[in-house]
Amino acid sequence: MKTVLYISLLLLGVIAYRGNSKKEVETRAETQFEKAIQDSIIYNFVFVGCNRVERSDQTNKAATNTSSANIAVLQHIFKEVSVLKRKPELFFFLGDLVYAESTTQLLNSQLSAWVQQYKDTAFSNISQSGIELVAVPGNHEMLYWADHNVPGHDEWPLKGATQIWMQYMAPYMPADREHVKSPDSVNNQMTFAFTRANIGFVVMNTDTYNAPTQQNPWGLEGQIPTPWIINKVQEYQKDPSIDHVFVLGHKPYYINCQGETGHDGLPEGPVLWPKLEESRVVAMLSAHVHDYQRMQPNDTGTYQIIAGNGGSEGPATFFGYSHINIWSNGEVELISKGFDKGNPYYQAMPGSPTTVRDSTILSWEKNTNPYMSCQ
């Protein structure tokens, strides 16, 4: 389809050449080509997570402010996304917006400062851009750190975190979303689903609050409502008006091609992923790991894409954001853009232009352009 458009525009350029300079014709053809490409994209959305600074940098004025966000990188991403030629309709922020992971008082002050910063037009125009922000909580918003002498556990559900998140972030959750309503659901308002164009989105809170019990006196994080999620995915898969389904959450199912549970990955266990593939979900989009990764864990089918390179210190070789274009010919195009990390990580890098670091068509068959091979 893209080739046909390009050839057509070249022909238009040849016809228009008469009476115009070569430069004028080339400029006109380029503009028409860009417009044709934009008109062929049905929908476009951006996703990224993990922008908070390190624990030791929460009071470092060179790195952050009261929000505990990596402000240099956040501003870079916000400013750039808001002026993209093909403006995205949605911006998913996949958790760890702030450091918190402590008390409700700290979570309250940091989220309040983050929202003020998001709205500050002197910082960026993202809040006035018309792009719909969808905020997803991460472990740093939902949990607290403590050593309770339990092997393998140093994070625990923070009572009251849900209420604080909803106080500040409810305006950045779709008003038309469907969410879990059963009485035994966990943090039902923050696991939800909605549709846009011909796309179904299922968003998970992967770090839920569960009250302490005799067996788990400190509570247990991450008990996601798996049956509800599976039912919603299957419902979207059967809907003739929906061609593509994405599942999103802070924690990924696969990391470096290995299934992970607990703190590192999705706490749900080995139930969800086979159902995602059975329903031909395009991809699970996550963060948590401070890296960019794209993989097909079973060598074909559903993708796991980790976009945790939003500014937090870690193994990522570049900071940036990823976006997906839904084309009118049915193709799903992934583009990851980035710029070099600073040294230290919170240092602005004005001399590093944003470039495409990964791009591919998310085909259901084995991807001929693997970023990370799992086989």
Residue 372 lies in a domain: no
Residues 101 and 235 both lie in one domain: yes
What confidence score (pLDDT) does residue 320 get?
98
Q: pTM of the prediction?
A: 0.88
In the block, tokens 């991807």 appear at: 367
Closest by CA position to 104, among listed 52, 168, 194, 14: 168
Residues 270 and 338 both lie in one domain: yes
What confidence score (pLDDT) does residue 34 get?
53
DSSP one-letter code for 375: -
Residues 151 and 61 both lie in one domain: yes
Question: Could you tell me the pLDDT band of residue 145, with boundaries at 50, 70 and 90?
Answer: very high
Tell me the two tokens of residue 351.
């001399």
Which pairs with CB-CB distance under 8 Å and at least 24 residues apart come from 8-13? 8/36, 9/33, 9/36
The amino acid at residue 95 is G
- Least confident segment among 104-118, 149-163, 360-374: 149-163
What confidence score (pLDDT) does residue 184 get?
52
Q: What is the CATH number of the domain that holds 81?
A: 3.60.21.10
Residues 25 and 47 both lie in one domain: no
Residues 14 and 90 both lie in one domain: no
Above 50 in pLDDT, residue 14?
no
Residues 259 and 146 both lie in one domain: yes
- CA 158 vs CA 101, 112, 144, 324: distances in Å: 8, 18, 6, 33
Is residue 69 within 8 Å of 98, Cβ to Cβ? yes
What confidence score (pLDDT) does residue 38 get?
53
What percentage of residues in the chain have a pLDDT greater than 70?
A: 87
What confidence score (pLDDT) does residue 181 get?
79
Residue 19 lies in a domain: yes
What percentage of residues in the chain have a pLDDT greater than 90?
A: 75
Is residue 228 within 8 Å of 180, Cβ to Cβ? yes
Above 90 in pLDDT, residue 149?
no
In the block, tokens 């996703």 appear at: 47
Q: How do strand 258-259 and strand 318-327 relate by DSSP bridges?
A: unpaired
How confident is the model over 57-105, as pLDDT tens digits? 999 999 999 999 999 999 999 999 999 999 999 999 999 999 999 999 9
212 by DSSP, 3-state: which? Answer: coil
Q: Which helix (H) or strand (E) holds 48?
A: strand 41-48
Residues 70 and 111 both lie in one domain: yes
Cα Rg, the chain, nearest whole Å: 21
Closest by CA position to 321, among listed 366, 371, 355: 355
How confident is the model over 213-263, as pLDDT tens digits? 777 787 776 678 899 999 999 999 999 999 999 999 999 999 999 999 877
Which pairs with CB-CB distance under 8 Å and at least 24 residues apart come from 20-25? none
Crossing angle for the helix pair 2-16 and 22-39, to the nearest 10 degrees: 150
Residue 192 lies in a domain: yes
b/e 214-233 (16+ beta carbons within 10 angstroms → b):
eeeebbbbbbbbbebbbebb
Residues 75 and 153 both lie in one domain: yes
Where in the sequence is the domain holding 5, given as residue range(s)?
1-39
Residues 30 and 58 both lie in one domain: no
Tell me the two tokens of residue 37.
């490409």
Tell me the two tokens of residue 78.
């916000």
Question: Could you tell me the pLDDT band of residue 183, with boundaries at 50, 70 and 90?
Answer: low
CB atoms < 10 A from the CB of 77, how many?
A: 27
What confidence score (pLDDT) does residue 277 get?
97
Residue 325 lies in a domain: yes
Q: CA-to-CA distance for 9 and 143, rounded, in angstroms?
A: 54
77 by DSSP, 3-state: which? Answer: helix
Torsion of CA 160, 163, 165, 167, to 10 degrees: -140
Residue 370 lies in a domain: no
Residue 106 lies in a domain: yes
Residues 185 and 126 both lie in one domain: yes
Mean pLDDT (the chain) is 89
How confident is the model over 264-274, as pLDDT tens digits? 888 877 899 99
- Total tally of structural domains belonging to the chain: 2
Residue 74 lies in a domain: yes
What confidence score (pLDDT) does residue 339 get?
98
Residues 18 and 96 both lie in one domain: no
Residue 369 lies in a domain: no
Query: How large is the average pLDDT for residues 6-17?
Result: 38
What confidence score (pLDDT) does residue 187 get?
56
Residues 8 and 46 both lie in one domain: no
